[in-house]
């Protein structure tokens, strides 16, 4: 069993994170991964140049670790890996990698789903979309909270 | 006491504020005072999803603050 939770201040490579997870899980049978990517447009259709993720000096990494450990404890998984960007993320760049490995696929799917539902609503970041018309703070939607609450 | 703000609260109030608080001031009393003094931040300060930390620990509204505390107001968080 391994749990990795990292905060990255510059661009990271999701393919390298997946490769590391595959290597760790070479005898396990199932690996599921999710990559979140900065969108080029806002909900209202305005172009977005970059997403800026402010973070807390201690609570942000702690929240990533807590969520990753919680997934490892809750599901029958062999490895959990979370990598999250902070700072300025240009549209099209990865924001988050959430991956899990297990002996059978269902646990890895569930763990990845759970990781993202909790990251969306509990990871300690403050996000704003920056475009030509200014910047807009982005907070979780009611649907995001409902997704998180599915897990009890 | 020192008060730190993040996200949209830092946008409106600034990242850091020195507040002369009365003795035995609760978190909710400090929040209401800040909301009155910074009306543009009032809604975010009073949000049920906003959190307050002292010493990197979440505290409740009734928590009593001391002048030596550093208090942090965190608007709703969002990753992913």
- pLDDT (average), residues B36-58: 94
pLDDT one-digit tens code per residue, A17-44: 999 999 999 999 999 999 999 999 998 9
Q: What is the pLDDT of residue B44?
A: 94
Residue numbers in A near B41 (CB within 8 A): none
**CA dist., res. A101 & res. A78, Å (int):** 5
**CA dist., res. A106 & res. A126, Å (int):** 32
Contact A82, A8 (CB under 8 A): no
Asked whether residue B75 carries a pLDDT value surpassing 90, the answer given is: yes
- DSSP H stretches of helix in B1-80: 7-13, 27-37, 42-46
> E strands of chain A, at which residues?
2-8, 30-37, 50-55, 77-85, 87-90, 94-102, 125-131, 134-138
- pLDDT (average), residues A68-80: 98
Element (H, E) at B21: none
Contact A49, B46 (CB under 8 A): no
**CA dist., res. A152 & res. B74, Å (int):** 23
B79 touches chain A (CB under 8 A): yes
DSSP state of A47: B
Range in A2-11, B21-30, B51-60 with the lowest mean pLDDT:
B21-30
pLDDT one-digit tens code per residue, B48-67: 999 999 998 999 999 999 99
Using pLDDT thresholds of 50, 70 and 90, give the confidence band for residue B11.
very high
Mean pLDDT score of chain A: 97
For residue A27, give how far its alpha carbon lies from the nearest alpha carbon of chain B (Å). 29
Q: pLDDT > 70: what percent of chain B?
A: 100
For residue A105, give how far its alpha carbon lies from the nearest alpha carbon of chain B (Å). 23
pLDDT one-digit tens code per residue, A79-104: 999 999 999 999 999 999 999 999 99
Paired tokens of B8: 């949209």
**CA dist., res. A61 & res. A48, Å (int):** 26
B55 touches chain A (CB under 8 A): no
Contact A107, A49 (CB under 8 A): no
Q: What is the pLDDT of residue B22?
A: 75
Please count the residue pairs, one from chain A and one from chain B, whose beta carbons lie less than 8 angstroms apart: 60
Q: pLDDT > 70: what percent of chain A?
A: 100
Of A57, A7, A70, A122, whose CA–CA distance to B56 is shortest? Answer: A57
């Amino acid at each position: 069993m391994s749990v990795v939770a990292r905060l990255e201040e510059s661009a990271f490579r999701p393919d390298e994170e997946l490769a590391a997870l595959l290597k760790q899980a070479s005898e396990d049978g199932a690996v599921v991964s999710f990559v979140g990517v900065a969108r080029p447009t806002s909900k209202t259709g305005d172009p977005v140049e970059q997403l800026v993720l402010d973070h807390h000096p201690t609570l942000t990494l702690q929240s990533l670790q807590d969520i990753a450990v919680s997934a490892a404890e809750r599901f029958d998984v062999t490895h959990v890996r979370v990598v999250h960007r902070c700072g300025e993320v240009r549209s099209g760049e990865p924001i988050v990698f959430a991956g899990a490995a297990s002996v059978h696929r269902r646990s890895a799917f569930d763990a990845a789903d759970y990781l993202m539902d909790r990251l969306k609503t509990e990871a300690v970041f403050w996000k704003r979309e920056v475009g030509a018309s200014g910047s807009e703070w982005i907070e979780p939607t009611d649907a995001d909270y409902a997704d998180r609450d599915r897990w009890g | 006491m020192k008060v730190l703000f993040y996200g949209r609260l830092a946008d409106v109030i600034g990242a850091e504020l020195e507040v002369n608080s009365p003795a035995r001031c609760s978190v909710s009393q400090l929040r209401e005072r800040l909301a009155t003094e910074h009306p543009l931040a009032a809604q975010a300060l009073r949000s049920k999803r906003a959190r307050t930390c002292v010493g990197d620990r979440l505290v409740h509204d009734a928590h009593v603050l001391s002048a030596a505390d550093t208090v942090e107001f965190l608007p709703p968080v969002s990753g992913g």
